[in-house]
Amino acid sequence: MLHAFSRTAPACGPPALAPDLDAARSPQPPGHRATGTRTALVTGASSGIGAAVARRLSAEGGWRLVLNGRDPARLDRVAADTSATVFPADLTEPGADRRLAEFAVSTAGPVDLLVAGAGIGWAGELCDMPPHVIDEVFETDVLATLRLVRRLLPGMVEAGSGRVVLIGSLAGAVGVRGEAVYSAAKAALGVFADALRYELRGTGVGAGLVVPGVVDTPFFERRGTPYRRSRPRPLPPERVAEAVLAAARGRDEVYVPGWLRLPCRIHGAMPGLYRRLAARFG
Ligand SMILES: NC(=O)c1ccc[n+]([C@@H]2O[C@H](COP(=O)([O-])OP(=O)(O)OC[C@H]3O[C@@H](n4cnc5c(N)ncnc54)[C@H](OP(=O)(O)O)[C@@H]3O)[C@@H](O)[C@H]2O)c1
C-alpha cells in the first residue's frame, strides 16, 4: 500500500517530474534557497533514529522536512512535532523511490540532504532464517536505499551541492554473530558510500555513513529478538541524530559512540586477533 499525505501540499507531484529529477529542480518553490532554507528528506522517520533525526533537524531550523515511513499515524505524530510534510510509503514497492522523490521535490523543492534511515533487522542463525526474510532485509536496507540515492543524486550533482547520509551499523563493519544477513546488508551500504565518494569528488556533493552500535529503539522488538546483552548499553537515538548532523555537515564516517572506531580498526588491521577476542568476549 502506498499512501501519500501532506500537511502542507497536495499529495501527488506533477507527472512531468518523472523520471528525471534534474528537470524538477526548476522552478523552485517560493522561498527555496532564496531564504537559505534547505530541504531534507528523512526515511525511517516514523520511529527510532529517523524520528530523532527529524526532530534534531527541526530544532536546528532552516530545513524544510519531508518524512517517510510506512505507518501514517506514527509519521503524523513526528510531523506534528517538526512541521514536516509526510509521505507514507513502503520503499520496497516498485516505483516508491520515484514517487517519494517526486513528492519531495514538488512539495519542498530540490533535496539538499537525504538521510536514509529506513531499515529492518533479523537475528538468529542463518540456517533458521526463512529465505524470504533474506530478500526483505536486502530489499529494505540495501536496494530501496540505493534506488533512492540514485534517484536524488543527479539533482544534487547538477546543483553542485547536497549530501547523502546512510545509516550503517557496527554489524556491517565487523560482522556480528547471529546477524549474518543484516551484517552483509549494512556492509553493502558502507562500501557503497566508499565507492560513491570517489565519483562524487569535485562535484560539491558528499556521502556520509553513520555507524551506530546499539540504539534504544523499537528495532529489536520488531526484528523479533530483543537486545539482551548488558554491554554495550543501548544509546538514545538522539545521540545518533547528532552523528547524522555531523555527517550532514561533511564528515564521511561517524561512529556512535566514537570508541566503536577502535574495534573496527582492530578488525581491519588484525582480523585474526579481532576474531579471537570476539569469540572470547562475544
Ligand atoms: N537500533 C539499533 O540498535 C541500530 C543500530 C545500528 C543501525 N541501526 C539502523 O538504523 C536505522 C533505523 O533503525 P531504528 O533503530 O530507528 O529502527 P526502528 O525504530 O524500527 O525504525 C525503522 C524505520 O524504518 C522504517 N521502515 C522499515 N521498513 C520500511 C520500508 N519497507 N519502507 C519504508 N520504511 C521502512 C520504519 O517505518 P515504519 O515503522 O513506519 O514501518 C521505521 O520508520 C535502520 O537502518 C537500522 O538498521 C539501528
Structural domain contains residue 5:
no
Instruction: Indicate the pTM of the whole model.
Output: 0.89
Structural domain contains residue 218:
yes
Structural domain contains residue 11:
no
Task: Output the CA 217–ligand 1 centroid distance in Å.
Answer: 9
CA-closest residue to ligand 1 atom 44:
119
Q: For residue 172, which amino acid is it?
A: G
The tally of domains found in the chain comes to 1
Neighbours of 272 (CB within 10 A): 7
Q: Which of the residue ranges 26-35, 42-51, 99-108, 141-150 would you say has the lowest mean pLDDT?
A: 26-35
Structural domain contains residue 59:
yes
Question: Is there an atom of ligand 1 within 6 Å of 44 CB?
Answer: yes
Q: Which of 182, 227, 255, 274 is catalytic?
A: 182
163, β-bridge pairs: 113, 206
Q: What is the mean pLDDT of residues 62-88?
A: 98
Question: Is there an atom of ligand 1 within 6 Å of 182 CB?
Answer: no
Structural domain contains residue 28:
no
Look up the domain containing 253 and give its range: 38-281
Q: In the chain, pLDDT over 90 holds for what percent of residues?
A: 79
pLDDT of residue 35: 57
Question: Is there an atom of ligand 1 within 6 Å of 50 CB?
Answer: yes
Structural domain contains residue 83:
yes
Structural domain contains residue 200:
yes
Could you give the CA distance from residue 212 to residue 235 in angstroms, rounded to a whole number?
A: 9
pLDDT tens string 84-113: 999 999 999 999 999 999 999 999 999 999
- What CATH number is associated with residue 70? 3.40.50.720
Question: Is there an atom of ligand 1 within 6 Å of 142 CB?
Answer: no
Structural domain contains residue 13:
no
Query: Can 182 be counted among the known catalytic residues?
Result: yes
In contact, 131 and 214? CB cutoff 8 Å:
no
pLDDT tens string 131-140: 999 999 999 9
